[in-house]
Every structure is written in C-alpha cells, then in structure tokens.
Structure 1
Amino acid sequence: MEAYNKQNPKGKLAVLGTTYLEPLGVYSKKYKKISQIPDGTTIAIANDPANTSRGLLLLKNAGLITLKKDFNAFSDTKDIASNPHHFKFKEIDDTTGPRVLGDVPVVLIGNSIALASGLHVLQDSIYHEKVEQDTKNNVNVLATAEKNKDNAAYKKLVKLYHNKAIQKFINKKYYGTKVEVNKPLSYFLRLVKWIYRK
C-alpha cells in the first residue's frame, strides 16, 4: 500500500481499519522444534522483497539470526547482522514452498499458500508470526480511495468485519488461521508515520 501510494499520488488509498494477520510459518519435515535446527541448515525463504524481509524478521524473532539496525521492508539477506548458526538461505518463489518441503530441511511458507496445501500454520509450523510490533506491516486492512476515508458506510464495514457472527464464520472457514486484529487506526498510523520519518 505504501508503494502504491507513492506511485499513485493522485489516487492514494487510505486505511479504514485492521482485519487480520495471516501468519508466516516455519515448516520442517525433519525437525519438531525451532531449537532442533542444526548449524549449517539450509532455510528456504521467499525471493520477493516484501516476503524476504518478512521471513528474515521471523527468523530474528525465533532467535536464529540478528538484523542490522537499518533493516526495513526492502531488506534482504545482505542485511543480516549475525548468523551464528551459519544457516544457508535458498530463495524460492513463495508459491513453491509446500512443494520444496521434502527437499529443503526448513521452509518459510505464507498462510494462504500453506492452507491451500493442507497445512495449518498454528498446528503444523514449528514457529509462526504473532501479532506484535514486528508484524504490523503484515496486518491486512480494509482500504478505500483517500477521498472516501470518512465515508460512514465504508467505516461500517470495519465494524461488520469484527462482528462476532462473522468472525465465527471466518474462523470455521479458515480453521482459525486468519488471526483477527481488531486495533484502532492509530495502531497502524503510528507505524506509517515512523516509516515516513525514516
């Protein structure tokens, strides 16, 4: 969305509200816990900028690597500050994650792709994203043209999305893998201001 607004200054989008997080997960057929991954293991991560940085943040939060202070949404493996376990990184098309799971010891897979392949991020991954500071960028939002950001009917969509009956339906349909994020708009805007200050 940030990139879109920069490329379309006359047609900017505005956030109406938060919806859910689809957790990125660490999967393995060889290891049952993140702590079991041995030194020198190859880890497959997505090869597109947004998901590469997202995957590295997940590995950082798992305690496997550290990242440079200026790490951002466009960073990649060159921005790893320390790799004490000497992991090797194999960049793949993120849609192929489930298919390479048998060939690569550890694979990072996004929830929608995992779910389509019969994997449940909250049950089958050995580590996954949670709603926290480092995952704010990955929260899905309802957005509209900036000129419509104060439209009462559009704002009502946010309330409807978080309605208990609708959440019950979403949880059942997606097996609880779309983690509801019902945060005030300020939760998201603080991050946007921080990005633009940088």
Structure 2
Amino acid sequence: MKKGRIIGIGIVLVVVILGVWTFWGHAHQQKDEITLGTIGSDAQIWNYIAKQPATKKAHIKLQVKSFTDGVALNTATAQGKVNVNAFQSDAYLQAYNQKNPKQQLDVIGTTYLEPLGIYSTKYKQLSQIPDGSIIAIADNPANTARGLKLLAQAGLIKLKPNFSTLSGLNGIASNPHQFKFQEIDDTTGPRVIKDQKVAAALISNTIALEGHLNVLTDSLYHEQVNQSTKANINVLATAKNASKQQKHQYQKLLQIYHSKNVQKYVQREFDGTKIEVQKPVSYLRN
C-alpha cells in the first residue's frame, strides 16, 4: 500500500512537472516571437536576419511584414499590432510622435543612414536646371524639411534662421531660381522624374533603390554623412509603452543587425548606399 502510494505520488509529480514545463516552453516561445514591420528593400535585410544562426541562438522567431505606408506602420507599432519597425529616420519618428501624442514611439537604437538624393532624367548637373522649374519634394513634414535642407546645401535655395527638422515650404527664405515645388508621395519619386513637367525630384534611397537608382552614382547631388545629417539616421522603433523586457529583446535584434555577417550582406546587396551607424540614442538627442 505504502509503495503504491509513493509510486502514485511520483506519477502525479511527473505529470505536474511536465505540464508546467510545457506551459513555460509555450509561453517562452510566444514571448520570443517578434513581428517586425518595414517598407521596401529593408524587408530583404530583415528576412535575411530572420534566417541567421545568431537569431536562432537568441531564441528569436522573427516574422517580417511589409508595409507601403509609414504612418500606417507607425500606428500599427504604437498599437502593438507590430512589435518593432525598421524603416524611418529619427526625424520622421519625431514628426509622427508630435502628431500622435496618444500613440507614441520609442527609439531602440540606430541602424544606418541612406543619403537623400536629387535626381533628374533630363539634366546631368544642378546648374543645368532652368529657373522656374518644378522640383518634386516629399509631402510629409520630416522629409519635406530634409529635402529643403539638401537643396540649401546644394546652393539652390536659402532657409530661414529658425528652420527646423519639421519646417515646411514656408521655411524658405530665398528662392533665387524661382523654383516651383510639387509635393508628392515619397514612394512615387522614381515615376515622377519621368514626368516631362518635373525637372528634378528629391528621393529617399529606399525608394530610389526600388526604382533601380543608386544615390551614390545616379543622383545629381546627395547628402554627406556628418553631424548635420544625424536627424536622418534610420532607427529601430517600438511602442513607448512596451515593457523593459520587450525592449531588451529588441536590443538583441539590433545587435544582430550590426553583426559583421549582416553588415557584409547589406554592403554587398545595396552597393554601399545603406551606411551603417552604430550610435547610442543619446547621440541623436545631443
């Protein structure tokens, strides 16, 4: 009787332990599943990362979802429908936060800088663009300001002293060439430069790559990587109310992104147009 009771208790304990272990394993697996949202060519990078041994070693199951609209992706991230996203500059994120005080995002860390370029199918040099021409520029605040800064750096316009990363066309102080600005959806740039009415367009590198354009060789003028362009550094972002544990897990993704193996892949696949930036978040704020 006593022996049978001991055996019975032992069986119960084994069943309980197995149950707890199964439950914990399932919960652990769910915790490590990360949905990452991205746009354009970046999906290629993160799908590559999803298959890396380092990702498996970190107990991360990465699911990559492609979006076509940055605001929709940020909203999905802020609402927790997407865990983390990788597509935007810090300036773009700050503009989103300013417009959406109840759905805020946090920066996990920096990834790269893609130089913004001025493109044209009609002219080979900036000096050839006639006065009064139409210049196409992004219609969202962060990229509008970024484009105007680039035009100013190129010597085509002058900006007001209080011009900021969220300033629009009213931030232009002087337009000596009397350019007309056509605000466009960022994603249409490669098509817009084929429009006979448009002399040139400012196109982000992610979109330029989709249009088979290389910012380093095909643009008339492009951004240089320096202190003045730090607001344009791309970031990994998540919901501001994400837990510390979740943010710690997303930091692992960032570490894998900056690994030598992944960076060699990015360099090779994108012809050096995605320039790695591995800086602390404080660098963006100082």
Q: TM-score, structure 1 length as denominator?
A: 0.82
Task: Select 1:129's aligned residue among 223, 247, 251.
Answer: 223
Task: Select 2:262's aligned residue among 166, 169, 181.
Answer: 166
1:101 deviates by 1.1
How far apart, CA to CA, are the structure 2 residues paired with 1:99 and 1:143?
A: 29
What whole-Å deviation, never above 9, does each CA across 1:113-164 have from its counterpart, x for those lacking one?
Answer: 1111111111111111222233222211123455428965543433322222
Specify the alignment match of 1:109 in structure 2. Answer: 203
What whole-Å deviation, never above 9, does each CA across 1:86-105 have from its counterpart, x for those lacking one?
Answer: 22212222222111212211
SS at match of 2:130: coil
Specify the alignment match of 2:237 in structure 1. Answer: 143
Specify the alignment match of 2:281 in structure 1. Answer: 185
Structure 1, unpaired ranges of 5+: 191-198
Specify the alignment match of 2:83 in structure 1. Answer: none
Q: Which has the larger displacement, 55-64 or 38-47?
A: 38-47
Structure 2, unpaired ranges of 5+: 1-92
2:152 equivalent to 1:52: no
- AA partner of residue 224 (structure 2): K
Task: Select 2:132's aligned residue among 40, 49, 55.
Answer: 40
Residue correspondences, number:
189
Which is richer in helix? 2
- AA partner of residue 130 (structure 1): Q
Going from structure 1 to structure 2, the CA distance change for 1:156 and 1:94 (only over 3 Å counts) comes to: closer
Specify the alignment match of 2:169 in structure 1. Answer: 77
SS at match of 2:181: strand
SS at match of 1:105: strand
SS at match of 1:14: strand
SS at match of 1:188: helix
How far apart, CA to CA, are the structure 1 residues paired with 2:128 and 2:232?
A: 27
What whole-Å deviation, never above 9, does each CA across 1:23-80 have from its counterpart, x for those lacking one?
Answer: 2210012222223333222211122222211111110111111111221233221210
> Does the 8 Å contact 1:57/1:134 carry over to 2?
no
Greater relative contact order, per chain length (Cα 8 Å cut-off, separation 6+): 1
1:20 deviates by 0.6
How far apart, CA to CA, are the structure 2 residues paired with 1:154 and 1:83?
A: 44
How far apart, CA to CA, are the structure 1 residues paired with 2:268 and 2:233?
A: 20
- AA partner of residue 64 (structure 1): L
2:214 equivalent to 1:120: yes
1:175 deviates by 2.5
Q: TM-score, structure 2 length as denominator?
A: 0.59
Specify the alignment match of 1:64 in structure 2. Answer: 156
- AA partner of residue 123 (structure 2): Y
> Does the 8 Å contact 1:22/1:111 carry over to 2?
yes
> Does the 8 Å contact 1:22/1:178 carry over to 2?
yes
Going from structure 1 to structure 2, the CA distance change for 1:149 and 1:82 (only over 3 Å counts) comes to: farther
> Does the 8 Å contact 2:95/2:142 carry over to 1?
no
